Structure 1
Amino acid sequence: MIFLELVLQNFGPYAGRQVINLDPRSEENPRPIILLGGMNGGGKTTLMDAIRLALYGQRAQCSTRGNLSYVDFLNQCVNSKANPTEKTRVELLFEHIEDDKPIKYRIVRTWEKNPKDGKDALGILGDDDTWPVDSLVNIWDDYIENLLPLGISNLFLFDGEQVKELAEQETPPQIVIEAIRGLLGLELADKLAVDLEILVNRKRKENADTKDLANIEQIEERLIQQQEDYQVIEEKLVTFQNQIEQLEIRRRESLDKFVSEGGKIAAERNQLEERQKEKNTALENIRQSLSELATDILPLALIPNLLSQVQAQGVKEFRYQQVQLARDVLLERDKRLLQWLNELAIASENVDKIQSFLAEDADNLYTGYSQSKAPWLLADEESLSQLDNVKYHLENAQISARKQLSNLASLEEELIVLARQVQTSAEPEAYQKLRDAVEEAQNQVAQAKANYETTRRNLTELADAIEKTKKELKEYTEKNIDSKNREHIISAAAKVQETLKIFREKLTLRKLNKLEEEVKNCFLYLLHKSDLVFRIGIDTKTFSLSLYDFDGKPVPKHRLSAGEKQLLAIAFLWGLAKVSGHRLPVAIDTPLGRLDSSHRSNLVERYFPSASHQVILLSTDTEIGKKEVETLRENEAIAREYLLKYDSATRQTTVLENQYFW
């Protein structure tokens, strides 16, 4: 069996008519994988529901149906933006072998808002998609049961949550147990045993006298009532289970709202406000310090060039003053020298030469330090020394100012962050309201779980009462019925039941032995670690898995990592699919969400290309990411790629062909 095409029209978030080609075959090279990528809430699960709905209609186990009636579920599936005059439509074209020939059928289900008779309209089209096959419409449920039985469909159309549940539980969930029983053919033996019991009771009733018959009928009426009560309580148990799931969702939503709307931050509001006060105090201290610098020496930083010029001019004028003083001293000395020379009676021409030299030397000294402009600063040595101190203190003040400005900017940024946190935190009244909502949701979940547990105990007690009544009926009739012909039927039926019990046990062992080997081979192939387990055993009653090492010793499941447990669950489903003998497509929703990178690569490289001749993967960008999709492309495992583009503004999804996230 191969799914060839899925058509959605105004179904869920898919507005208008959108067609998805699912055929993995091509003329060049058949590739098994059809990859559909979409973000959470973008319509991946809706596609899986569409396939189930097309195949099984009212019997479909769709993820979003819950406790809804079929008409309410169909109304829920109608696109919110759909034209009221247009019908909602789901089509699934598939191909399978019939009488050794390939044959195609297109399942068409249409309905409108509040459909008549509370159901959809079913049509089956033949090979050329034009002529209807009316003969199949009335027997469609039986027909599809022969191709893909509803009981085992969850082994081929499953999601990551189902794998998670199977990995975490010691025994498989009931839905998987029913699928296993269907695969092993055990339901036929059970049905035959029930039919034999009905036959035996009928023959015993025919063989009883009036009094015996009245007693038997009384016991049978009690048994029927108990069985009816059992069914009612069983339905209530399912209702409570669904209620718990819905309430768990509401609890998570209220908790998310508590966190997102500031409930968590509100618990720390006082601390945030205290930190705000501390930061504001530090901020004011820095501003006060900067103000003090601004009223002291810091404004001189505005005229650095002028300060340098003043210092240079002061040095120049001070040097000039020194030269002037030195010149005056030299002139006085030269005058005394000349007088002394004259007293020594030295020739006048030599004295004149000495006098001329001294005058020229004094003029040269003065000329080298003369100024073109008259001194204007007139600063003394002490003032110039103070100017050096001013520059030193100014540099320190600038360094301090820059450091404090940096601290000021950091404090202002921290205050902005604190203000934002305080702003987003809930007020005390709102915080209490959010907290009350969380507590109420938690109390509702606790109450629902208590109701579920009470109902489960009642169901167990009623099951025990039913068995007791059956035993009483059997003992009563065996003591009071004495008809040879009918007794022969009864005794023969008892022998058949005993034989059937032995047959069922042997059939179970035979099928489970094959299943154990397949599950082990699949697990070791996925795990790529041959020394972990030597044998996998499956319990004949609970179908729980047991692992054994090469020495025959049990390998506790808790020794497996979370990833290895999930690979074991996938190997279990894969082995069941192989043992079933059905050549069917495999569709997996959210296949890798809870696996680490090493186990992901094992699934990508080993499981997906080999799971079936057609593998439909519905994945987010974080599950089958860039690395995984490139690996699948390099291995030529992908036949087609689609991207489910969800527009949050319109809440509509568009299917983009030949595209993925990368």
Structure 2
Amino acid sequence: MIFLELVLQNFGPYNGRQVINLDPKIKDNACPILLLGGMNGGGKTTLMDAIRLALYGHRAQCSTRGNLSYGDFLTQCVNSHTPANDKTRIELVFEHIENDQPVKYRIVRTWERNPKDGKDNLGILGDDDTWPVEALVNIWDEYIENLLPLGISNLFLFDGEQVKELAEQEIPPPMVVDAIRALLGLELAERLAGDIDILVNRKRKEIADKQELENLEEIEQKLKQLQDEHKIETQKFVFLQKELQLAEKSQAIAIDKFISEGGKIAAERSQLDKLKEERTTEAEQIRKAMCELAGDVLTLVLIQPLLSQVQAQGEKEFRLRQARMARDILLERDKRLLELISNLNIAKEQVDKIKAFLAEDEQMQNSSSLKEELWLLADDEALSQLGNVIYYLQNAKISAKQQLAILKTKEEEIIGLERQVQTAASPEEYNKLRDAMQAAQKKVAEVKADCETTRRRLVELETAIEKLKKDLQEYTKQTLDRKNIEHIIVASARVQETLKLFRERLTLRKLNKLENEVTECFRYLLHKSDLVHRIAIDTNTFSLSLYNSQGKSVPKHRLSAGEKQLLAIAFLWGLARVSGRRLPVAIDTPLGRLDSSHRSNLVERYFPSASHQVILLSTDTEIGKKEVQTLRDNEAIAREYLLKYDSSTRQTTVIENKYFW
């Protein structure tokens, strides 16, 4: 199957009629890639929705549909500049092989704003685009299911958000699980099991009497009502989960705004005022203590140099007095010594030498320093008290410096608190911020409560449904006894067991092949070829387990964000390869959070090999100048388009043969 052309007329941001040639052949040379570049919000995802809508109509899983009815969704897709009488139109031309011959069809869907009966008009045109194929219109859903089943379409038409979701979750999301079941053929076996249940119930009705039939129909009617209610509650639960995500996002925005615009500080204003008052009191106490210190001895700091000089002079005079006393004692001793020598029989020459020595010594002692005048005349006690005063004054000076430092710190804290109070929101603005935050929190709480209530109701319904099924089975076993019908019922039970065993064995066989394909794809995309040796897939949850060459488990959290994304792409690629279907691949925003090496592997290895036709919808930061040049050098690109979005008119124009570079 190959997409050849996509036509959009008044669809989404595409005003008027715009034609995109998707044929990957250029002069008989097949280049698989068709590159469409556009900025975020420029209409890339709209192109993917258009392809899905053309193929599947009301069953299409489009990105912006949500819980809208099909009619409301079609109205939403009408371009805002479309005249009232003009129609919105989507055309998708594709080619595939039928009876060993190429066949071309053009799918045409048209509608007006607020379409009648909430439906579009479907037309299928043949090879020459002129005559309609009415037979296909009536059975189109069954026909396209044979070519590209809706269940596995997400393996071939996927976007970066799907890859991101698959990469971040331990268990694949329900959309991928459904695709896996469809791919493995489990849907057919489960459908067969359901058909057997229907057959058994019909046979039970055939052998039941009137009262038994009424009881049986009552149980079946109640079971149907509960199943319908379960379906509605499931849809409601999905909607509430999405609403909860939006409410939590709004709550986060309100809290951030409350904090950033001073709401938090305003809420703590009383605490700040109290803290400021405490710091002010402490500062006043320090000032009072410093005043007391200044009134005691600290004023003497002003004459501290004079006091030091007085102390030095006192000590000097004390030493001078001691020196004079020592001199007087020595003179008295010399006098007595001379008297003693005069009475001794010593030669006059020797006595003269002794007298000369003593005279010289006396002259040395009578130096000028001993003649200095004493004016302070301080006694020892006064000098000691003066030393104590100077020592105490030094300690007081140190204490005053410490008190000043503490006072400075307190004053800085007071200034900081005043600034915080000044940045706080006004009472009116604070009330607005607080009310907005409380409203967002209340909304989250209400939606959470609704979610929990709906979840509990779902559990109750599931329990009641299982009980009714069991009652239905027990009821029929006890009341119905006709042999031929019993034979069918018993045989059906054996068939059910066989189908269960068949599903298990089929799952194991297909999963083994899928494991090999996913492992091969991942190792081919990953530049660390020794990181993962084997990938195993759980038979129940379809979650992935990684193992190295020694057979030891490799935790998924060891992979980088880019490696997880490559693993998700390898998983989708492996599923597509196992499907055995030759189908186009369309990828919206494909590169995400990949680093340069992983991005290079994806560009060089995956895109050219993903399929015979690969439609890439990319921004300028994903497939940049380097990546697009690589694809061009490898002659992998068949056609290039630029989706030029005009923000003033909110319209997108498709420019052919042009990319960002």
Structure 2 CA distance, aligned partners of 1:141 and 1:510? Answer: 30
The 8 Å contact of residues 527 and 598 in structure 2, kept in 1 or not, is answered as no
Structure 2 CA distance, aligned partners of 1:494 and 1:107? Answer: 44
Structure 2 CA distance, aligned partners of 1:523 and 1:3? Answer: 27
Q: Which residue of 2 aligns with 1:203?
A: 203
CA 1:163 to 1:7, structure 2 compared with 1: closer, same or farther past 3 Å? Answer: same
Shift of 1:538: 1.2
CA 1:429 to 1:26, structure 2 compared with 1: closer, same or farther past 3 Å? Answer: farther
Q: Deviations over 1:591-617 (max 9, x none)?
A: 112222222111111111111111111
Structure 1 CA distance, aligned partners of 2:201 and 2:10? Answer: 53
Structure 2 CA distance, aligned partners of 1:238 and 1:522? Answer: 33
Partner secondary structure for residue 64 of structure 1: coil
Q: Which residue of 1 aligns with 2:21?
A: 21
The 8 Å contact of residues 536 and 544 in structure 2, kept in 1 or not, is answered as yes
**Which amino acid is the alignment partner of residue 237 of structure 1?**
F
1:103 equivalent to 2:103? Answer: yes
Structure 1 CA distance, aligned partners of 2:480 and 2:650? Answer: 70
Q: Which residue of 1 aligns with 2:631?
A: 632
Shift of 1:177: 0.8
Partner secondary structure for residue 25 of structure 2: coil
Unpaired runs of 5+ residues, structure 2, are 267-422
Q: Deviations over 1:150-207 (max 9, x none)?
A: 1111111111111111111111111111111111111111111111112222223333
Structure 1 CA distance, aligned partners of 2:28 and 2:252? Answer: 49
The 8 Å contact of residues 13 and 79 in structure 2, kept in 1 or not, is answered as yes
Q: Which residue of 1 aligns with 2:238?
A: 238
Structure 2 CA distance, aligned partners of 1:492 and 1:565? Answer: 47
Partner secondary structure for residue 49 of structure 2: helix
The 8 Å contact of residues 108 and 122 in structure 2, kept in 1 or not, is answered as yes
Structure 2 CA distance, aligned partners of 1:572 and 1:527? Answer: 13
Partner secondary structure for residue 80 of structure 1: coil
Q: Which residue of 2 aligns with 1:8?
A: 8
Q: Which residue of 1 aligns with 2:617?
A: 618
Q: Which residue of 2 aligns with 1:496?
A: 495
Q: Output aligned runs, 1:241-260, within 5 Å.
A: 241-247=241-247, 258=257
CA 1:437 to 1:610, structure 2 compared with 1: closer, same or farther past 3 Å? Answer: farther
Q: Which residue of 1 aligns with 2:166?
A: 166
Q: Output aligned runs, 1:405-420, within 5 Å.
A: none
Q: Output aligned runs, 1:349-498, within 5 Å.
A: 429=428, 433=432, 436-437=435-436, 439-498=438-497
Q: Which residue of 2 aligns with 1:92?
A: 92
Structure 2 CA distance, aligned partners of 1:140 and 1:214? Answer: 39
Shift of 1:252: 7.2
Shift of 1:250: 5.3
CA 1:526 to 1:100, structure 2 compared with 1: closer, same or farther past 3 Å? Answer: same
Structure 1 CA distance, aligned partners of 2:467 and 2:429? Answer: 57
Name the count of aligned residue pairs: 505
Structure 1 CA distance, aligned partners of 2:583 and 2:255? Answer: 42
CA 1:254 to 1:204, structure 2 compared with 1: closer, same or farther past 3 Å? Answer: same
Structure 1 CA distance, aligned partners of 2:91 and 2:160? Answer: 25
Q: Which residue of 2 aligns with 1:124?
A: 124
CA 1:499 to 1:86, structure 2 compared with 1: closer, same or farther past 3 Å? Answer: same
Unpaired runs of 5+ residues, structure 1, are 271-423
**Which amino acid is the alignment partner of residue 48 of structure 1?**
M
Structure 1 CA distance, aligned partners of 2:65 and 2:536? Answer: 36
Structure 2 CA distance, aligned partners of 1:15 and 1:425? Answer: 49
Partner secondary structure for residue 536 of structure 2: strand
Q: Which residue of 2 aligns with 1:607?
A: 606
**Which amino acid is the alignment partner of residue 657 of structure 2?**
N
**Which amino acid is the alignment partner of residue 161 of structure 1?**
E
CA 1:641 to 1:463, structure 2 compared with 1: closer, same or farther past 3 Å? Answer: same
CA 1:192 to 1:607, structure 2 compared with 1: closer, same or farther past 3 Å? Answer: same
The 8 Å contact of residues 527 and 597 in structure 2, kept in 1 or not, is answered as no
CA 1:651 to 1:539, structure 2 compared with 1: closer, same or farther past 3 Å? Answer: same
Q: Output aligned runs, 1:504-519, within 5 Å.
A: 504-519=503-518
CA 1:573 to 1:114, structure 2 compared with 1: closer, same or farther past 3 Å? Answer: same
Q: Which residue of 2 aligns with 1:361?
A: none
Structure 2 CA distance, aligned partners of 1:431 and 1:657? Answer: 54
Structure 1 CA distance, aligned partners of 2:556 and 2:52? Answer: 33
Q: For structure 1, which segment, 516-525 or 477-486, has the greater mean C-alpha deviation from structure 2 after superposition?
A: 477-486
CA 1:583 to 1:426, structure 2 compared with 1: closer, same or farther past 3 Å? Answer: farther
Q: Deviations over 1:558-599 (max 9, x none)?
A: 122211111111111111111111111111111112222222
Q: For structure 1, which segment, 47-56 or 463-472, has the greater mean C-alpha deviation from structure 2 after superposition?
A: 463-472
Structure 2 CA distance, aligned partners of 1:160 and 1:110? Answer: 29
What's the Cα RMSD here?
Answer: 2.5
The 8 Å contact of residues 593 and 622 in structure 1, kept in 2 or not, is answered as no
Q: Which residue of 2 aligns with 1:369?
A: none
1:661 equivalent to 2:660? Answer: yes
CA 1:132 to 1:595, structure 2 compared with 1: closer, same or farther past 3 Å? Answer: same
Structure 2 CA distance, aligned partners of 1:12 and 1:249? Answer: 27
**Which amino acid is the alignment partner of residue 188 of structure 2?**
L
Q: Deviations over 1:260-294 (max 9, x none)?
A: xxx83556999xxxxxxxxxxxxxxxxxxxxxxxx
Shift of 1:29: 2.9
Q: Which residue of 2 aligns with 1:521?
A: 520
Q: Deviations over 1:131-158 (max 9, x none)?
A: 2222211111111111111111111111
Q: Which residue of 2 aligns with 1:341?
A: none
Q: For structure 1, which segment, 67-76 or 566-575, has the greater mean C-alpha deviation from structure 2 after superposition?
A: 67-76
Q: Deviations over 1:399-444 (max 9, x none)?
A: xxxxxxxxxxxxxxxxxxxxxxxxx999875576456445534543
Structure 2 CA distance, aligned partners of 1:616 and 1:606? Answer: 15
Normalized against structure 2, the TM-score is what?
Answer: 0.72
Q: Which residue of 2 aligns with 1:544?
A: 543
Structure 2 CA distance, aligned partners of 1:497 and 1:45? Answer: 43
Structure 2 CA distance, aligned partners of 1:181 and 1:235? Answer: 21
Structure 1 CA distance, aligned partners of 2:435 and 2:265? Answer: 18
CA 1:251 to 1:587, structure 2 compared with 1: closer, same or farther past 3 Å? Answer: farther
Normalized against structure 1, the TM-score is what?
Answer: 0.72
Q: Output aligned runs, 1:125-140, within 5 Å.
A: 125-140=125-140
Q: Deviations over 1:517-558 (max 9, x none)?
A: 101111111113222222211111111111122232222211
The 8 Å contact of residues 263 and 433 in structure 2, kept in 1 or not, is answered as no
Q: Deviations over 1:225-268 (max 9, x none)?
A: 32222122122123223433554665677689x59xxx835569
Partner secondary structure for residue 92 of structure 1: strand
The 8 Å contact of residues 546 and 554 in structure 1, kept in 2 or not, is answered as yes
Structure 1 CA distance, aligned partners of 2:264 and 2:226? Answer: 57
Q: Output aligned runs, 1:551-590, within 5 Å.
A: 551-590=550-589
CA 1:252 to 1:582, structure 2 compared with 1: closer, same or farther past 3 Å? Answer: farther
Structure 2 CA distance, aligned partners of 1:79 and 1:44? Answer: 15
Q: Which residue of 2 aligns with 1:371?
A: none
Structure 1 CA distance, aligned partners of 2:26 and 2:636? Answer: 12
CA 1:43 to 1:253, structure 2 compared with 1: closer, same or farther past 3 Å? Answer: farther
1:264 equivalent to 2:264? Answer: no
Q: Which residue of 1 aligns with 2:52?
A: 52
Q: Which residue of 2 aligns with 1:288?
A: none
Structure 2 CA distance, aligned partners of 1:163 and 1:428? Answer: 47
The 8 Å contact of residues 263 and 434 in structure 2, kept in 1 or not, is answered as no
Structure 2 CA distance, aligned partners of 1:637 and 1:432? Answer: 60
**Which amino acid is the alignment partner of residue 163 of structure 1?**
V
Q: Which residue of 2 aligns with 1:78?
A: 78
CA 1:128 to 1:266, structure 2 compared with 1: closer, same or farther past 3 Å? Answer: farther
CA 1:625 to 1:435, structure 2 compared with 1: closer, same or farther past 3 Å? Answer: farther
The 8 Å contact of residues 67 and 242 in structure 1, kept in 2 or not, is answered as no
The 8 Å contact of residues 66 and 242 in structure 1, kept in 2 or not, is answered as no
Structure 2 CA distance, aligned partners of 1:28 and 1:534? Answer: 40
Structure 2 CA distance, aligned partners of 1:202 and 1:65? Answer: 38
CA 1:652 to 1:236, structure 2 compared with 1: closer, same or farther past 3 Å? Answer: same
The 8 Å contact of residues 207 and 483 in structure 1, kept in 2 or not, is answered as yes
Partner secondary structure for residue 661 of structure 1: coil
Partner secondary structure for residue 511 of structure 1: helix
Structure 1 CA distance, aligned partners of 2:640 and 2:83? Answer: 30
